[in-house]
Amino acid sequence: MGVGKGWEGVVLKLLRGKDFTFTVTGAEDVTADFRRVHFTDGGLLAAAGESLHPTMWVRLWFENEGKPHQRAYTLVDPDREAGTFALEFALHDGVASRWARDVRPGGAIEATVQGTGFSAPAPAPERLLLIGDPASLPAINSLLDAFPETAATIWFETQHASDAELPVRLDPARHEIRRIARQDGGAALVERVKAELPELAPDPGSAYVWLACDTATTRTLTAWLRKDLALPKQRVNSLGYWRDAAAA
Ligand SMILES: Cc1cc2nc3c(=O)[nH]c(=O)nc-3n(C[C@H](O)[C@H](O)[C@H](O)COP(=O)(O)OP(=O)(O)OC[C@H]3O[C@@H](n4cnc5c(N)ncnc54)[C@H](O)[C@@H]3O)c2cc1C
């Protein structure tokens, strides 16, 4: 996936409401707590065409006790010509995680494409400031791939010892990762980012932050970036990726 002309800020009007069936071709444990599942795309990538963009996600429909449950996952290495991509699952106890643990080649899942989008930061930032965790690792990797010339600092919240082994697509010449063990519902991450990010964003108008953590942490950091650091709205791209039921 490169930074082409077509995807900046594109709303996927053509795809809205369309349903696709993805078929599993294989799966592997990346770590004990993170699983990659490979799919054929059921026509998704051809339909997306130039709308394909970094951080692109789909809504998958999982079934549990006869009820549908919608969960969002990020496309990994979409290959339009081959009609294939992967999804990477940060594993915990949930309907999507259980499905990913058990699925075998030939398994199928329904998907809807709705809500996904991405606006390339303009002007281009000197450094990407990325904040996330294993659930947003696929999106972080897609951003590192899409902006190969840009420096990046990543604050990465970990939950398991195995998270240190996760494949972050780092270019040691340009990228730096700071790992923070999750504590107190994200408070440790918030503290580190508040202490360390300001010196990397001396000019709020040209800084660019992309963040996706649990919803409460995302909300706290977004408010701080906007109000305390005075970053303009278009320089902060944030979305809560999961709800911490333990902290609720
Ligand atoms: C736009 C978008 C893109 C996303 N892309 C990805 C992706 O590529 N890969 C990915 O793994 N996730 C991704 N997520 C997050 C994923 O959708 C959620 O984690 C989702 O809740 C998982 O569903 P589940 O059925 O497994 O667990 P749920 O039934 O939602 O929750 C079950 C339990 O697990 C806990 N839990 C849920 N998610 C997590 C987590 N990430 N870490 C720790 N505990 C958790 C809950 O607090 C609850 O206690 C994305 C979310 C969004 C909004």
Determine the distance separating the centroid of ligand 1 and the alpha carbon of 188, expressed in angstroms.
Answer: 20
Residue with tokens 């992967």: 86
Contact yes or no for 31/163 (Cβ under 8 A): yes
4 pLDDT higher than 90: no
Mutating to test ligand 1, I would choose from 241, 243, 244 the residue with most ligand atoms within 8 A of its C-beta, which is: 241
Local confidence band at 87 (pLDDT 50, 70, 90 cut-offs): very high
pLDDT at site 114 = 84
Looking at residue 15, what is its pLDDT?
56
- Residue 126 Cα to ligand 1 middle (Å): 31
Query: How many H-runs (helices) and E-runs (strands) does the chain carry?
Result: 5, 12
Reported confidence tier of residue 18, pLDDT bands at 50, 70, 90: low
* Ligand 1 centroid to residue 48 C-alpha, Å: 24
Residue whose CA is at the smallest distance from ligand 1 atom 10: 135
User: Which residues have C-beta within 8 Å of that of residue 22, sequence separation ≥ 6?
Assistant: 39, 40, 41, 42, 44, 60, 108, 109, 110, 111
What span, in angstroms and rounded, lies between the C-alpha atoms of 103 and 96? 10
Higher pLDDT, 235 or 8: 235
Q: Name the DSSP letter for residue 231.
A: -
What is the Å distance from ligand 1's center to 206 Cα? 31
Residue minimizing CA distance to atom 4 of ligand 1? 73
Domains and CATH numbers, the chain: 13-112 (2.40.30.10), 127-238 (3.40.50.80)
- Judged against a pLDDT cut of 70, whether residue 7 lies above it is answered with no
**Residue of the CA atom closest to atom 12 of ligand 1:** 135
For residue 71, the CA-to-ligand 1 centroid distance in Å is 7
146-182 pLDDT, tens digit per residue, is 999 999 999 999 999 999 999 999 999 999 999 999 9
For the stretch 52-84, pLDDT in tens is 999 999 999 999 988 889 999 999 999 999 999
| Spatial CA neighbour of 176 closest among 204, 205, 206, 197 | 197
Q: Which residue did the predictor score with more confidence, 163 or 246? A: 163
**What are the b/e assignments for 86-106, b being 16+ CB within 10 Å?**
bbbbbbeebebbebbeebeee
Q: Copy the structure tokens of residue 179.
A: 């790992």
Pocket of ligand 1 (CB under 6 A): 57, 71-74, 88-90, 92-97, 135, 138, 239, 241-245
